[in-house]
Structures are given as structure tokens and as C-alpha cells.
Amino acid sequence: MNVAAKYRQASLYVGDLHADVTEDLLFKKFSSVGPVLSIRICRDLITRRSLGYAYVNFLQLADAQKALDTMNFDVVKGKSIRLMWSQRDAYLRKSGIGNVFIKNLDKSIDNKTLHEHFSAFGKILSSKVMSDDDQGSRGYAFVHFQNQVAADRAIEEMNGTLLKDCRLFVGRFKNRRDREAELRNRANEFTNVYVKNFGDDMDDESLKEVFSQYGKTLSVKVMTDTSGKSKGFGFVSFDSHEAAKKAVEKMNGKDINGQLLFVGRAQKKAERQAELKQMFGQLKQERFRKCHGVKLYIKNLDDTIDDTKLRKAFSSFGSISRVKVMQEEGRSKGFGLICFSFPEEAAKAMAEMNGRILGSKPLNIALARRS
């Protein structure tokens, strides 16, 4: 193993840092376990404020392992830090191998508690409870194990168990492509139908009479308010996809007592939100395709760079009509697009920003092809 490879293996990622943490403070902390080659806190290119994470490079791999074993979740400046091996293999991060998704977490579960509950199944490369802007838990998390065997054990033993009176869902991480394929398959196999825009006089029996002509119904329900009055919408569950599909085809848009019904596949809230998010993303991409200026393709973006920071970094070069950092699961995919109004502005931006460090990485900029 060459020296460079050895140093890479002795590198730790330090996350969830307080904004006031300095390199000197981290050096004092980590050098207590062994010689430290370098420490770099990643900072905003313009403001130089900490981005909340750093990299610590040890001279010896054993010292890095000791720090990981003994200092993970230590409190520094009032915040619990999160340590993991610096993962430079993009394929391992994005492949989903060993990656587990957990939801329905009690809001009191933090990174340390999550790690403690799942470390029994195998070596953890990273674990993270997702938080909102106020640093409160969003109720879901990701745990990345070193191998799929450990991940499968965690899923088998933890899925459906109670943790702080919350019944967990633990399953394999699915990337966006897999989730979209699942949604398409679900759309082709539905048996539950959503019906709305009918009158106040519609009850369960009346709704069943209307829809039972298309096939056997398992359940029919008109939603009502506290007084028992119809809210104007309901659900019909058929015993077969064919019957449900036929009901949608025949009844959607049909006039009943002067009102046009809406009849469609019943969807869970999360599924509707996923479809809307996908549609919104497609609209944004379409807007970029219609850019009347010059588009630049920005690669090798730091994970912390969002639309606002990317726009700010390039705004001095001219008029920017659109900026988009591509994302998946709320995380940057490492590239984005900027649309300048004039070719001269784009050329100047390319000349001065190509290779410049933004966040913690040197930018790679190219002229985007017109589509």
C-alpha cells in the first residue's frame, strides 16, 4: 500500500459541528489519541463560515480507529459530533448496498441512540437521523452498514419492533429510480378507487349501488363530518384491478345530479407527494431546456452547495436567469446547471471559476449542450 492510500484510509469525517469549532480545537481533541497529519474544516467560499463538517487525517490507521471507537458522539461546544470513515468511493455511497432506511422514529431518538440500537448487527459506516431547519428530528433515518448481510439482519430483527412506543419500519434503501418504478407498478395494479364531488345525499349504500355494477366491492365508504353529513368524497375498494380500472374509465367525469364526478386511483399521501415532487422536478428541467441564454454544467459540487450558494458564487459574472443543483433524497448529486443571459457572461464565469474551490472541492465547468 502506498503512503497516499494509507493516509486516505486513516481519514475520518467529522459531522454535526458547532459553527464556532476551530481547527485548533479539533487538533487538540484528536491528537490525544495519536499523531494527526491535518485537519480541515470545510467552509463557505465567500463567507468562510463553517459548513458544519471537517476531515481529520491521522498518521496511523489504528489511531483513526481508536478515535472512531472512543470519540463518536462526544459533545464539542454543546453539540454531539458524528464520526465516520471518510468515504471517497461514490459507488459505495450511492449503490444502496448495506444501506437501510428507518422511519416512524420517536422524535427523541438522536444519532447516538440510533447507532447504539443498530451497531449490534454489524459494522456501521455511517448513521444519520434526518433533521429539519430547527435541528429537530424528522422521524426517519439512514444507517449504512459495511455489508448487505448486516443490513439484512437489521431489517429482519428490527422491522416492526417498538422503540420508545413507536413501531419502526426498517427496510432496504431504495433510490429514486426504484421508487418511481414501484409507483408505476402500483398504478397498474390498483384496486382502491377515490371518488369526489358528489352531493350531500350520497351515503355508503347509494355509492355502493352506483359502483357495484363494475365488479364485486369489498368495502365502500362515504366520508362524513361530526354531524354525519357527507363531505362529498369517499372510497370504493374492489376485489380486482380490472373492476377498479373499469369503474375509473366509466365513471370519471360522469354527471350525477348535476355534478361531474372525479373518479381515480386512491393514493396514500406519501405517494401523492412523491408524484407531485417528480412532476415539479420535470417542470424545472423543462424550464432549463427552454433557457434562452447560455447554460453552464457545473460538476464536482460539494454536498453542502445548494441553489442559493451556487447562484451567489456566480452572480458577479452577470445576469443569471436560473440555477439548479440536482438532488436525490434531498441530497446533492454533485452537479448542477446555471443559465446566463449572455454568452460573454458565461465565458467569463467559465474562465474564472473553473478549478476554483467552492466549499471543499474544485469546480469542473463545461458548456451545457442545448437540447
Q: Is 344 domain-assigned?
A: yes
Q: Are residues 10 and 40 in the same domain?
A: yes
- For residues 133 and 160, membership in a common domain is answered with yes
Q: What are phi and psi of 358, to 5 degrees?
A: -125, 115
Round to whole Å and give the CA distance between 252 and 165: 42
CATH code, 133? 3.30.70.330
Whether residues 77 and 99 fall in one domain: no
Task: Write out 145-199 in H/E/C secondary structure.
Answer: ECCHHHHHHHHHHHCCCEECCEECEEEECCCHHHHHHHHHHHHCCCCEEEEECCC
Residue 169 and residue 200 in one domain: no
pLDDT at 176: 67
Last residue of a domain, one of 51, 86, 121: 86
Quote the domain boundaries for residue 350.
291-367
pLDDT for res 101 = 93
Asked, for residue 65, whether it belongs to a domain, the answer is yes
Q: Which residue is associated with the grid cell 413507536?
A: 166
Q: Are residues 222 and 251 in the same domain?
A: yes
Of 140, 173, 206, the position where a domain reaches its end is 173
Cα–Cα dist 84/212, whole Å: 58
Backbone angles phi, psi at 258, to 5 degrees: 80, 5
Per the domain annotation, does 284 fall within a domain?
no
Q: Which residue has the higher pLDDT, 182 or 363?
A: 363
What domain count does the chain have?
Answer: 4
| 50 and 80 belong to one structural domain | yes
**What is the average pLDDT value for the chain, to the nearest integer?**
84
Residue 280 domain-assigned (yes or no):
no
273 within a domain of the structure (yes/no): no
Whether residue 276 lies inside any domain: the answer is: no
160: left (phi over 0), alpha (psi -120 to 50) or beta: left
**pLDDT confidence of 90, banded at 50, 70, 90?**
low
Sheet holding 36-43, edge to edge: 36-43, 50-58, 11-15, 82-85
- Among residues 328, 279, 327, 291, the alpha carbon closest in space to that of 307 is found at 327
Predicted pLDDT at 333: 87
Please report whether residue 180 resides in a domain.
no
Asked if 129 and 201 sit in the same domain, the reply is no
Is pTM beyond 0.85 here? no
Side-chain-facing half-sphere of 91: CA atoms under 13 Å: 0
CA atoms of 212 and 237, how far apart (whole Å) = 10
Kindly report which listed range (136-140, 257-261, 288-292) carries the lowest average pLDDT score.
288-292
- Beta strands 255-256 and 259-260 are antiparallel
pLDDT in tens, 236-289: 999 999 999 999 999 998 888 778 889 988 877 666 665 556 555 554 555 555
**What is the predicted pLDDT for the residue at 68?**
92
User: Do 78 and 10 belong to one domain?
Assistant: yes
Backbone angles phi, psi at 251, to 5 degrees: -100, -25
Of 41, 71, 86, at which residue does a domain stop? 86
On whether the CB atoms of residues 360 and 303 are closer than 8 A, the answer is no
For residue 330, pLDDT beyond 50 = yes
Whether residue 60 is found in the same domain as residue 2: yes
